[in-house]
Every structure is written in structure tokens, then in C-alpha cells.
């Protein structure tokens, strides 16, 4: 069904409603209108990395882990799995009369905010710190969610529009100040792509204000940009209880009725929260016209018609058996494999279970289900922690010792015990082992959304980049044992891993690897596959020189604006294989003028010089010269995940779009202002630290 037909049917249906009925449909928990055959519908459903909060579903790595995969095709597969399972659930639940929250077809994902500051608690819900990476992954995820059938398979939602990335503790009253240059260079490109390229069906506004106006009632963002410049035709939804913040927190209105007036006038169609329950009061007071209510209702019912909610459609027969089926679990396992980033390896990895008799698995995240799942998660029928994954993998061949070592963040694991009550056990495990896997990191209680975590003093944000003090003490204790050890970090953001980098034999960033992620971690440690993930965020050594968290300027933030050497750079990740670029040739003319109009392609000859098959991520970066508008450092402009057999050589075509040769001026206008560009192609970014860590040089040319 096309939008024109759906909108016509929506207009006809809404035209039959009373104003009271129309108003009721603008709430996220829309009641039934029985006389018109409209069942109740709850718009709030989640699917960030699997259908969430609605029972059993396939659970993928957290979004930041999928960002580390640098794999567009994977994100489309993941979106397809989520939409299939959402449909399967909707089919049986609605048939049983269950139309509760989280059980609909309007999926409030993906989160395409940019991870600008490593302290932000919700950063792990995003795909990373780069607009281009976020854009390419989000487009494919949305296409997977929405499908290509006659009807929308599910309706995706790009959130949180638009200048939003903490601090969580202040978000309900915070005003994010951003220049037009920063907005159009950093904060808006991914949203524009979601709307214009992926045709995302809905957009969610953020809690905060941006440059003085609330994001859920923003003249510039919602009217001039979203529906004006970009031609957005879907519906706009507030973040939950964000409209209430207008009068209670931001103090830009004096009452719920005035907040309703502002939100509806600016185009907020759907209210997640309670404020729109007073729409009729605002109407009675003469603050709004009935036409505003009708406009929003038509937009919402257009989406419901596009989803085929009032017709027999091709998704009605998706069976219950598709939920967490073998094929879907295989996609989740693939996502975990591709997400794992090897940060350091002195040769200890891969482990050989034929040479190891005893292995110690130590740490608060070794046997933690919470460390697998991140936030906005569903329920798995089975969880496999790192400890369990290693135990399952080695079987009876290797003795596995385990110690929690310490609590995740508290001084002791037992209330009546002395502090550091598991350290002696950890030492005993280490001393009795040939090698130790030390599992450190965070979980959603230490980094997450304000109000959803146990981190009550920081509201989900991190105060710094350090591991919790008990874990630092544990790490120092294991170092003192002199036993070879591997640090496996399960966390959704950059931590200061300097101590691990200095003393550990290997360091693995596993993110939140998904419900059964432990088995894939084990397989990687023992060399069943070569790690191939790349960092979607910069790992800083510390916060020195980092702007204040509340400062939304980009100076010094992310790899594009970084002014000091990182511990581990964006785009970096090691492999067990030796991949080499032996030749790079431009396909066709390689002058700047043509590239800035049509883009440019390169044929890259890649050789796997190893005796093992492996995957890698080919990356291209561009820095435009001859203009003051370019960002300080070369920016990611193309990437492609490649697969080569042992000793195989391939010619890979990688295309850099014309967009990469544009820049944004202080007025927020994107255009071609340079006269030449440096192009870098390799398996990492073009920075000195990446070259030092990978011991390889990146190919460079100029056009």
C-alpha cells in the first residue's frame, strides 16, 4: 500500500470520529473505538537489538557491538529478524486479545544519536561516534525492520531528534547549545539519511532543549528541517513524558494545556506520556483548533494502514515458531563474532586447548548475565556467559577454575565479609592456572538511561573512564601473580584500559555480546575464527583536554576532532591473520572536480597472507584540503567488510561517495569548498597510533 492510499483511508476513518475519539488516539496507549472497528493499540515497542520487554526473543549484541562489526548487510539481517519476530509476536498476542505495551509493530529503534562523549550512559545504544558509520548501519537496519513488501513489516523510529547525548541527570531541563556547523556536520546527517534514504516511518524527539527550544516542539528542527527541507511524511512521537517537561522542567510553558498547544502546533503527533490526556481541556480553553488534533490523528492512522492493521497482509501468517528459531540464533552468533575487537595480542591468542591443562576464568563479568545484554533487552531462553562459553568449548579436555574476584562495583561480594573478600580466591585460581581470562567491565547498572539503572548518583552516566575501584584492585592483583592473562572487557563504552594494555598479554573488547555471546567469545579466544571487529568509538587514555560534558561543541571530541593521541583509535582492531593491501588503483578519472560530483571508486588488491580464513574491514578516509571548513582529521567515507580464504587474493572495489568531498560552513551549509583531497585506504584509520599498533602503513593518494 502506498502512502497516498494509506493517507486517504486514514482521512476517511478519522473523518468519522468525534473530536473526543480523535484526541484519544494521540496517546501512546490509544484505546479502542469499537463503533468504528478500531482495536486498542499501544504504540510503545522496543527492538534496539532484538524485540525487547515482550518475552522471549532472539537477543543480539548491544547496538554499539553491532557498530563495531562495520557491516551494513548484517544490520539489515538483524532488522529482518527483529521485524519477523515482532510480527510473530503481534500475530499470536493480538489473536489472544493481548494488546499491551511492547507488543505492537511500531518499533522505537534505532537510536542514531552520535556518541560524542565517552561518559554518556546511553552511548551503547548507538552505533558509535561517526556520522557516516551511523548512517550506513541505520539505513540498513531500518530497511530490515520496515521490509520491502506491500505493507510495512514494522515501523522503525529514528531517535532522539536531534542534538542529544547526555548528560542523563539533566536531560529533562537541559539546553544543548550547538552551532549550525556542528548540527549539520555531526548531529543531523544520520537523521537526514534515515528520513530521505531509509524512509523511516517515525521520528522521536529528545527530552532536552536545543538552542532554547524543546526538541519535541522545535520550530527549526521539526518544521523547517524535518518536514520542510527533508520532506518527512511519517509521524512524530515525543520521548516518554517529554511534553510534561515543557512546563515542569524547562519552564517554557505554564500548564499542560499550553504544552499541548506548543507540541501539536510544531507537529508532535503522538505523546508517550500523560500530557495529551488533557487535549480536550486545551480545546475547551481555545488554545488549539480541532484541525491540529485531526492532522495528528490522520498521520497516525496512515502508519497503521501502512502496517496493514486493517487488512489481510503478507505478514499475518508468520508463525510463532519463528521466534528464537535456529536461523535467527545463527544471525545473532554472526553478529557477536563480527563485533569482537582484539585490542592487544602479544601472541598468546589464539589459545591452544591441546597445550593448556588448566585455565582460570576470573572477574565479576565472567559469569554475569547482565554483562551480556546491555539495556533495552528482551528475554532469551538460554544465556551463555563467558565462563560457560569457555567451559562448553573446552569440555573435559581442560580444567576450568573460576573466581568472581570482586563485586562489579562494591568493595565486597558478601555483606558481612571484609572488603576484597574474593581476592585470595582469585590469586589461588591464577596460581593454579596456565592462563587466566580476566573478565572486567560494566553492565546496565553502571551505564545506561537515567531512571533505568542502579547508578543513582550519576543517573546512568559515567563520572570518568576508570574501571570501578574493586576491579582495578583485582587487575593489579592478577598482574602481581605473573601468570599470563587475557583481559576480556564487557562494556558499552570507552574505558581507560592503560593498565591492561601495559600488562595483559591480550585485551579483547566484547561489548555486551548478546544472550549467548559467551560461546562466541570462547571460540574467538581459541582461534575457531579470527577477530574482525573495529572500534566504533575512540578509546581515550583519560579525560584531560576533553570539554565539559555539558558542552556540545565538538572540539577535542571523537576521532574527527581529536587533538591528542588515543589509547586505541576509532576504526582499530587486530586480527589473527595477516591481511595486506598490495595494490590500489582508481577506477576511472581521479580528479577532485569529478569525485566531488560523482564520487570515486578504487580497486583494492587484498591478499590474505595467512594459513587461516579471515574477515577484515576495508576502510577509506577523506580529508578535503584548501578550505577552512573541513574537520581537523580525515573522516571515514567508505567501508566494506571482506572475507578471504587462506592465501586468497581478491580485488575489492570500494566507492567513496561525492558527499565525502563536501564540507559544512559556519552557517550550516554543506557544499564543495575545497580544491583537492587526501584519500587513505587501509584496515584502520590514518593516524600514527593505528600505524604503531597494527605495524602497517595505510595507502595514501591525493586527488
- pLDDT, tens digit (0-9, with 9 covering 90-100), for 456-505: 445 799 999 999 999 999 999 999 999 999 999 999 999 999 999 999 99
Cis peptide before 262 (omega within 30 of 0): no
Grid coordinates given for 431: 596460581
3-state secondary structure at position 518: helix
- Residues 6 or more apart from 572 whose CB is under 8 A from it? 341, 343, 534, 535, 684, 685, 689, 690, 693, 694
Grid coordinates given for 483: 601468570
Grid coordinates given for 166: 547526555
The residue among 412, 319, 422 whose CA lies nearest residue 363 is: 422
Grid coordinates given for 615: 574477515
Q: Which long-range contacts (CB under 8 A, 24 or more apart) does 190-194 make?
A: 190/112, 190/114, 190/131, 190/134, 190/135, 190/138, 190/158, 191/112, 191/158, 191/161, 191/162, 191/226, 192/230, 193/135, 193/138, 193/139, 194/112, 194/135, 194/138, 194/139, 194/142, 194/158
198-248 confidence digits (pLDDT tens): 999 999 999 999 999 999 999 999 999 999 999 999 999 999 999 999 999
**CA dist list (Å): 505 to 394, 512, 521:** 21, 22, 16
Q: Tell me if 571 sits within 8 A of 684, measured CB to CB.
A: yes
Grid coordinates given for 616: 577484515
Backbone angles phi, psi at 371, to 5 degrees: -75, -5
Q: Tell me if 515 sits within 8 A of 372, measured CB to CB.
A: yes
**CA dist list (Å): 521 to 368, 410, 531:** 14, 26, 10
Backbone angles phi, psi at 109, to 5 degrees: -155, 155
pLDDT of residue 686: 97
Burial of residue 702 (CB within 10 Å: 0-12, 13-18, 19+) is: exposed
Active site residue 239: yes
Report CA torsion sign: 491, 323, 301, 75.
positive
Catalytic residue among 71, 117, 239, 367: 239
599-652 confidence digits (pLDDT tens): 999 999 999 999 999 999 999 999 999 999 999 999 999 999 999 999 999 999
The CATH number that domain 579-702 falls under is 2.60.40.10
In angstroms and rounded to an integer, the radius of gyration of the C-alpha atoms of the chain is 26
Grid coordinates given for 222: 521539526
3-state secondary structure at position 132: helix
Residues of the chain with pLDDT under 50: 454, 456-457
- Grid-cell match 486493517, residue found: 310
Cis peptide before 162 (omega within 30 of 0): yes
Q: Please count the other Cβ atoms lying within 10 Å of the Cβ belonging to residue 277.
A: 16
pLDDT of residue 321: 98
The CATH number that domain 3-313 falls under is 3.20.20.300
Return the H-helix or E-strand segment holding 620. strand 614-625
Backbone angles phi, psi at 354, to 5 degrees: -80, -15
pLDDT of residue 452: 61
What's 694's DSSP letter? H
Report CA torsion sign: 78, 84, 88, 93.
positive
Strands 663-664 and 579-587, bridge-based pairing: unpaired
Give me the DSSP letters along 415-441. TTSPTTTTHHHHHHHHHT-SEEEEEEE
Give the fold, CATH level 3, of 326-561: Rossmann fold (3.40.50)
- Grid-cell match 569482537, residue found: 340
Longest dimension (CA), the chain: 80
Domain residue ranges in the chain: 3-313, 326-561, 579-702
Q: CA-to-CA distance for 387 and 385, rounded, in angstroms? A: 5
Beta strands in 177-288 (DSSP E): 202-205, 209-210, 213-214, 235-237
The residue among 604, 676, 670, 597 whose CA lies nearest residue 640 is: 604
0.85 exceeded by pTM: yes
The residue among 475, 444, 305 whose CA lies nearest residue 369 is: 444
Amino acid at each position: 500500500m502506498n502512502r497516498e492510499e494509506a493517507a486517504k483511508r486514514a482521512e476517511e476513518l478519522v473523518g468519522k470520529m468525534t473530536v473526543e475519539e480523535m484526541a484519544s488516539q494521540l496517546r501512546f496507549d490509544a484505546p479502542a473505538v469499537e463503533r468504528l472497528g478500531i482495536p486498542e493499540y499501544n504504540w510503545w515497542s522496543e527492538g534496539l537489538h532484538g524485540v525487547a520487554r515482550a518475552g522471549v526473543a532472539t537477543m543480539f549484541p548491544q547496538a554499539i557491538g553491532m557498530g563495531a562489526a562495520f557491516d551494513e548487510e548484517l544490520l539489515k539481517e538483524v532488522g529482518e529478524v527483529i521485524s519477523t519476530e515482532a510480527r510473530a509476536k503481534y500475530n499470536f498476542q493480538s489473536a489472544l486479545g493481548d494488546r499491551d505495551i511492547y507488543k505492537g509493530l511500531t518499533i522505537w529503534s534505532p537510536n542514531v544519536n552520535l556518541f560524542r562523549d565517552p561518559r554518556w550512559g546511553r552511548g551503547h545504544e548507538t552505533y558509535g561516534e561517526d556520522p557516516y558509520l551511523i548512517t550506513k548501519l541505520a539505513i540498513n537496519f531500518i530497511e530490515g525492520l520496515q521490509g520491502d513488501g506491500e505493507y510495512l513489516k514494522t515501523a522503525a523510529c529514528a531517535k532522539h531528534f536531534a542534538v542529544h547525548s547526555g548528560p542523563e541527570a539533566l536531560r529533562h531541563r537541559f539546553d544543548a547549545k550547538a552551532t549550525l556547523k556542528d548540527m549539520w556536520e555531526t548531529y543531523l546527517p544520520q537523521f537526514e539519511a534515515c528520513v530521505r534514504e531509509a524512509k523511516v516511518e517515525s521520528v522521536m524527539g529528545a527530552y532536552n532543549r536545543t538552542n532554547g527550544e524543546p526538541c519535541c516542539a522545535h520550530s527549526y528542527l521539526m518544521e523547517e528541517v524535518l518536514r520542510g527541507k527533508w520532506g518527512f511524511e511519517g509521524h512524530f512521537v515525543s520521548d516518554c513524558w517529554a511534553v510534561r517537561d515543557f512546563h515542569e522542567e524547562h519552564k517554557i510553558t505554564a500548564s499542560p494545556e499550553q504544552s499541548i498547544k506548543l507540541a501539536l502546533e510544531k507537529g508532535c503527533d503522538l505523546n508517550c506520556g500523560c500530557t495529551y490526556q488533557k487535549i480536550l481541556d486545551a480545546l475547551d480553553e481555545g488554545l488549539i483548533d480541532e484541525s491540529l488534533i485531526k492532522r495528528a490523528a490522520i498521520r497516525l492512522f496512515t502508519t497503521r494502514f501502512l502496517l496493514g492493521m486493517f487488512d489481510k497482509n503478507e505478514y499475518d501468517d508468520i508463525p510463532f515458531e519463528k521466534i528464537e528459531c535456529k536461523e535467527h540464533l545463527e544471525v545473532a552468533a554472526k553478529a557477536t563474532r563480527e563485533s569482537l575487537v582484539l585490542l592487544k595480542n602479544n601472541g598468546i591468542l589464539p589459545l591452544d586447548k591441546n597445550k593448556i591443562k588448566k585455565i582460570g576464568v576470573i572477574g565479576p563479568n565472567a559469569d554475569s548475565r547482565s554483562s551480556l545484554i546491555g539495556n533495552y533487552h528482551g528475554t532469551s531462553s538460554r544465556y551463555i556467559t563467558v565462563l560457560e562459553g569457555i567451559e562448553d568449548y573446552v569440555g573435559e579436555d581442560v580444567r576450568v577454575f573460576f573466581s568472581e574476584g570482586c563485586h562489579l562495583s562494591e568493595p565486597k561480594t558478601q555483606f558481612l565479609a571484609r572488603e576484597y573478600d574474593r581476592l585470595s580466591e582469585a590469586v589461588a585460581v591464577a596460581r593454579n592456572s596456565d592462563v587466566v581470562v580476566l573478565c572486567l567491565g560494566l553492565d546496565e547498572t553502571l551505564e545506561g538511561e537515567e531512571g533505568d539503572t542502579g547508578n543513582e548518583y550519576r543517573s546512568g552516566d559515567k563520572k570518568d573512564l576508570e574501571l570501578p575501584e574493586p576491579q582495578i584492585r583485582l587487575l593489579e592483583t592478577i598482574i602481581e601473580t605473573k601468570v599470563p592473562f587475557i583481559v576480556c572487557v564487557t562494556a558499552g563504552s570507552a574505558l581507560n584500559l592503560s593498565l591492561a594494555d601495559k600488562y595483559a598479554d591480550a585485551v579483547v573488547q566484547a561489548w555486551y555480546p548478546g544472550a549467548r555471546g559467551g560461546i562466541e567469545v570462547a571460540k574467538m579466544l581459541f582461534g575457531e575464527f579470527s577477530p574482525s571487529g573495529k572500534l566504533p568509538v575512540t578509546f581515550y587514555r583519560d579525560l584531560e583536554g576533553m570539554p565539559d560534558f555539558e558542552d556540545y561543541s565538538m572540539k577535542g571530541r571523537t576521532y574527527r576532532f581529536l587533538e591528542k593521541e588515543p589509547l586505541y583509535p576509532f576504526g582499530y582492531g587486530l586480527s589473527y591473520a595477516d591481511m595486506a593491501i598490495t595494490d590500489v588503483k582508481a577506477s576511472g578519472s581521479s580528479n577532485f572536480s569529478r569525485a566531488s560530483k560523482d564520487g570515486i571508486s578504487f580497486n583494492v588488491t587484498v591478499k590474505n597472507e595467512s594459513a587461516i580464513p579471515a574477515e577484515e574491514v576495508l576502510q577509506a578516509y577523506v580529508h578535503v584540503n584548501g578550505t577552512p571548513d573541513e574537520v581537523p582529521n580525515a573522516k571515514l567515507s567508505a567501508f566494506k567488510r571482506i572475507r578471504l580464504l587462506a592465501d586468497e587474493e581478491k580485488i575489492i572495489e570500494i566507492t567513496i561517495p561525492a558527499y565525502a568531498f563536501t564540507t559544512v560552513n559556519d552557517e550550516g551549509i554543506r557544499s564543495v569548498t575545497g580544491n583537492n583531497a587526501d584519500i587513505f585506504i587501509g584496515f584502520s584509520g590514518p593516524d600514527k597510533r593505528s600505524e604503531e599498533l597494527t605495524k602497517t602503513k595505510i595507502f595514501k593518494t591525493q586527488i
